[in-house]
Chain A
């Protein structure tokens, strides 16, 4: 037995299969000793704490209900360095922002498991009486502080942790009563770290998904969620969805039966609505192919994740339009930004206003759908063909195993993410906005897209170059990175 345990911990072969429970217990014990607060986690006591939460503070319940009732929930992001600041923020988002889901974003030192640096950030923030961290260092604070935050609000809470190394954060978060956790092995490893391999990132999230499944085995359904925004910079729907499907298959293999998928808005009404619809359909299609017929996959739409305009009036338009796009697309929730986005972390007031702007937009659009509109149906078909071309190739490369296929596909560039900081991602693919406002692919790198599909992309982009009188080159992609952050005087001069 010990040999098997050691083999798994020391040099296991990567597969998608569920981590055996006895090995998982060993992994948890090792994990929880890595920082002093880990010892505060007692699984049985944590299960009891979770089970005692009322239904309106359980995100899994809220997402299932919203999906059934075709409602779009609102959720911001938000994290500050100290417990007092974080508590005030979460209360403001709950009460002033009318948030349906209240977040805790962890700071970037915690995301990189630099807990000593995070502690220094807490100390300096207390000394200067302002937050010097971009999130809340929940691992440093530990279980009691996490529970104090959960008790301060009257909504479900989600952890937003932008990390390829979620194992301690997740243990403490679930034990504290967070009922949602955003993150996945493929998406975050390609977006939030430079050196870690795709394989190690997948392993780290196999741990998290196995943990969520263990809670489920004990009667606690948690909302796991995949962060589909990737690098947040002009991600075409097919790339986001292909990776979302693969992350979903990996989670399902660990036993997760509630797995949300995110899509960043392209800000094209038809493309965004088509992407949201196609995302859930394709996730279910591949889950069924693998024999999983009971996985709930609600889709979350994200306000624009690229560069934002400095002008608060322009930014307010992206916020409220983002509510419109999420509602018309039929997203189950929307993750909001604010008029402060170009400047970094928003104040609680600006954050609450972003929520209310979005909420009003959702209200206005609540009964509008695009079903049957030819352009919408055409775009859904296009996305489905693109995603199948990519995912089928990845699964083929892994001989049916999503984990193995993913690692091999990134090495070959068959899976690729634009603008990735990770050394193990080719980042050859270059997206750009076309003549009709769609996000298309200028350079596909080694993505296995058929020629007739690539022609659709190329035609739209050549049309843009012709209309603007500029060369058909890489600058199309680079200008698309900044376009929406430009002042109105440049975008639309009198």
Chain B
């Protein structure tokens, strides 16, 4: 089976890097090739990195509440770049304040993310979701 490539990073003006780095370590241990863009990454940089590395998925982290503004139009950026079907995940503290998760999730799925993950998601959950989604996709 070929090695899948994942682009990770923390979007926008957000500096919360710790969880993202730990996620990256776990993804690498699970056999993925990880392109880690780090903190404070503009949306366009995720897409650019995905093109350059022929990535299979983009995993966007946001912990500071402004993800709702930063992630608007993310799928459109991918489509414009020819990445119509790339797998898109987003996770973290995605909005300002404690809001009901189903509502927050719907907002991000409507933006074109394939999955959105709530605050406190552990790496095992992300690994399980990736395995399930890649199993359902032709290589």
Task: Give the interface segment out of A209-217, A337-345, A363-371, A372-380.
Answer: A337-345
In A317-354, the 8 Å CB interface with B consists of 340, 342-347, 350
CB-CB nearest in chain B for A309: B120
Interface centre among B13, B25, B38 (most CB of A within 10 A): B13
Contact call A344/B21, Cβ cutoff below 8 A? no
Interface size on B, as a range, is 20 to 34
Please classify the interface of chain A as helix (H, G, I), strand (E, B), loop, or mixed, using the class held by over half of its residues: loop
Chain A residue numbers with a CB within 8 Å of B112 are: none
Chain A residue numbers with a CB within 8 Å of B64 are: 108, 134, 344
Chain B residue numbers with a CB within 8 Å of A80 are: 96
Task: Give the interface segment out of B51-59, B65-73, B80-88, B130-138.
Answer: B65-73
Complex alpha-carbon distance, A307 and B120, angstroms: 9
Contact call B13/A111, Cβ cutoff below 8 A? yes
**Beta-carbon contacts of B33-70 to A below 8 Å, as 1s and 0s?**
00000111000000000000000000000011110110
Complex alpha-carbon distance, A419 and B122, angstroms: 18
CB-CB nearest in chain A for B25: A478
Contact of A108 among B19, B66, B93, B97 (CB under 8 A): B66
Chain B residue numbers with a CB within 8 Å of A340 are: 97-98
Contact call A231/B18, Cβ cutoff below 8 A? yes
Contact call B95/A481, Cβ cutoff below 8 A? no
Chain A residue numbers with a CB within 8 Å of B93 are: 343-344
CB-CB nearest in chain A for B120: A310
CB-CB nearest in chain B for A312: B98
B22 near A: Cβ within 8 Å?
yes
Nearest Cβ distance between residue B102 and chain A, in whole angstroms?
A: 14
- A345 and B22 contact, Cβ closer than 8 Å, known pairs A132-B96, A134-B96, A194-B39: no
Contact call B21/A419, Cβ cutoff below 8 A? yes
Chain A residue numbers with a CB within 8 Å of B38 are: 194, 421
Complex alpha-carbon distance, A342 and B19, angstroms: 13
Complex alpha-carbon distance, A194 and B13, angstroms: 10
Contact call B40/A112, Cβ cutoff below 8 A? yes
Complex alpha-carbon distance, A233 and B49, angstroms: 28
Contact call A342/B119, Cβ cutoff below 8 A? yes
Complex alpha-carbon distance, A344 and B94, angstroms: 9
Complex alpha-carbon distance, A481 and B69, angstroms: 28
B17 near A: Cβ within 8 Å?
yes
Nearest Cβ distance between residue A229 and chain B, in whole angstroms?
A: 12
Nearest Cβ distance between residue A121 and chain B, in whole angstroms?
A: 6
Complex alpha-carbon distance, A320 and B39, angstroms: 32
Complex alpha-carbon distance, A194 and B21, angstroms: 14
Nearest Cβ distance between residue B96 and chain A, in whole angstroms?
A: 5
Contact call A134/B66, Cβ cutoff below 8 A? yes
Nearest Cβ distance between residue B22 and chain A, in whole angstroms?
A: 6
Contact call A133/B96, Cβ cutoff below 8 A? yes
Chain B residue numbers with a CB within 8 Å of A195 are: 40
Nearest Cβ distance between residue A135 and chain B, in whole angstroms?
A: 9
Nearest Cβ distance between residue B36 and chain A, in whole angstroms?
A: 11
Chain B residue numbers with a CB within 8 Å of A114 are: 13
Contact call B15/A421, Cβ cutoff below 8 A? yes
Complex alpha-carbon distance, A108 and B70, angstroms: 11
Nearest Cβ distance between residue B95 and chain A, in whole angstroms?
A: 7
**Beta-carbon contacts of A192-205 to B below 8 Å, as 1s and 0s?**
11110000000000
Chain A residue numbers with a CB within 8 Å of B39 are: 194, 421
Contact call B119/A346, Cβ cutoff below 8 A? no
Contact call A344/B65, Cβ cutoff below 8 A? yes
A131 near B: Cβ within 8 Å?
yes
Chain A residue numbers with a CB within 8 Å of B21 are: 419
Chain A residue numbers with a CB within 8 Å of B65 are: 133-134, 344-345
Chain B residue numbers with a CB within 8 Å of A419 are: 17-18, 21
Interface centre among A109, A112, A344 (most CB of B within 10 A): A344
Chain B residue numbers with a CB within 8 Å of A107 are: 66
Chain B residue numbers with a CB within 8 Å of A347 are: 97-98
Contact call A344/B14, Cβ cutoff below 8 A? no
Chain B residue numbers with a CB within 8 Å of A342 are: 119-120
| 5 sampled A-B residue pairs with Cβ under 8 A | A107-B66, A108-B66, A132-B69, A344-B65, A344-B93
Question: Can you list the 8 inter-chain pairs with the closest CB atoms, starting with the nearest?
Answer: A421-B39, A344-B93, A343-B98, A134-B65, A108-B13, A421-B17, A112-B13, A194-B40
